[in-house]
Amino acid sequence: MKGTTPLHVTNHYRRNKSDYDEISARLDRTRRTFKESDTSEQIRMLQQSHSFAVISVQTPVHIHEDSFTKLWADDNPLENMDDALSSVNYRNNKADYITHSLTHGHLWANVVDMIEAGNLDEAHKYVLDNFKGVGPAKAPFTFSMLGFKEKMCIDANVINAMGMDEHVNTVVVDKYESICAKLREKMPTLNKTVSPFMWQWIVFDWQRDEISKHKPFYEVIGTLE
């Protein structure tokens, strides 16, 4: 642990504000694209984001992003699966999880309906209950990467930065959101300045000593400008 204090992280944000403004604007653009797309494209975006979340688990960022790009090359993930995941930790399990997602588009259609109705917490719970490879932290990550910045992911980097003793395992969405809120309250200035997901993104970057823009994801999604 690096010895996190609110001032450390807030100063990191201030020094790199232009980068985070760029990231936040890209998230907003991605959310608009999602909302303006037809159902089939929304399902595809959710499947892409789910696969990005699955691959990310216990895998270095550069390997994770390279794998994701290979997976979705030519929009043919099932054919690309073996080669794309060859360097990824737990690749066989992840291949099963992603294949399940790709072959159950009707379940993602239900998620689309929940999002369109404004029931993001319900969609969060539905993903936890019906899709594989995304637990309490990575299920909301599926939404947040698509621009739903009210969701955040308490991943290992956030856990380490905040000095938490263990991972968050609750599958109760209200309880998870309460934990997120309490974490953000430990950095009140940053919490008042940015959205929950941007708060997490900044802490993630600070813990890792770099700025991660996840451009490969947004290039595949089609919202990288």
- Residue range 157-216, pLDDT digits in tens: 899 888 888 788 899 999 999 999 999 999 999 999 999 999 999 999 999 999 999 999
Per-domain residue ranges of the chain: 6-220
pLDDT at 2: 47
Q: Using CA atoms, how far apart are residues 67 and 177, in angstroms rounded to an integer?
A: 30
What letter would DSSP give residue 37?
S
For residue range 75-110, list pLDDT tens digits in order: 999 999 999 999 999 999 999 999 999 999 999 999
pLDDT at 90: 96
Sign of CA pseudo-dihedral 72, 76, 78, 83: negative
The angle formed by the CA atoms of residues 191, 196 and 199, to the nearest 5 degrees, is 60
- Once rounded to an integer, what is the mean pLDDT over residues 145-164? 92
CA dist 183 → 154, 172, 176 (Å)? 9, 17, 11
pLDDT at 149: 98
Q: Please say if the pLDDT value at position 3 is more than 60.
A: no
CA 145 centroid distance within chain: 4
Cβ neighbours of 91 (radius 10 Å):
17
